[in-house]
Amino acid sequence: MLIPILQIITAIALIVLILLQERSAGLSGIFGGEGGAFYQTRRGLERGIFWGTIILAVIFVGLAILGLIG
């Protein structure tokens, strides 16, 4: 009963972090958005959001696998 609740909380946090990321960092930035730079270094809060998104995605996948096993 605890794993589905943790999955819901993780999913909501993951959605929020994805929506907070900069829009030009995706594929649209390659095709002429925001100066056309192909590479941009992440600094400060942007780096924290990026790594937080990766960590939450790994946690979410781990919880999904635990839900299937258990």
CA 50 – CA 60 distance, rounded (Å): 15
Q: Given this model, what pLDDT does residue 24 score?
A: 55
pLDDT (tens, 9 = 90+) of the chain, 70 residues, equals 899 999 999 999 999 999 998 765 555 555 555 555 556 677 888 899 999 999 999 999 999 999 999 8
Task: Give pTM, 2 decimals.
Answer: 0.73
- Listed by start position, the domains of the chain span 2-69
Nearest CA to 11 out of 46, 49, 53, 48 is that of 53
Which residue is associated with the tokens 């030009």? Answer: 24
Question: Which pLDDT does position 25 carry in this prediction?
Answer: 56
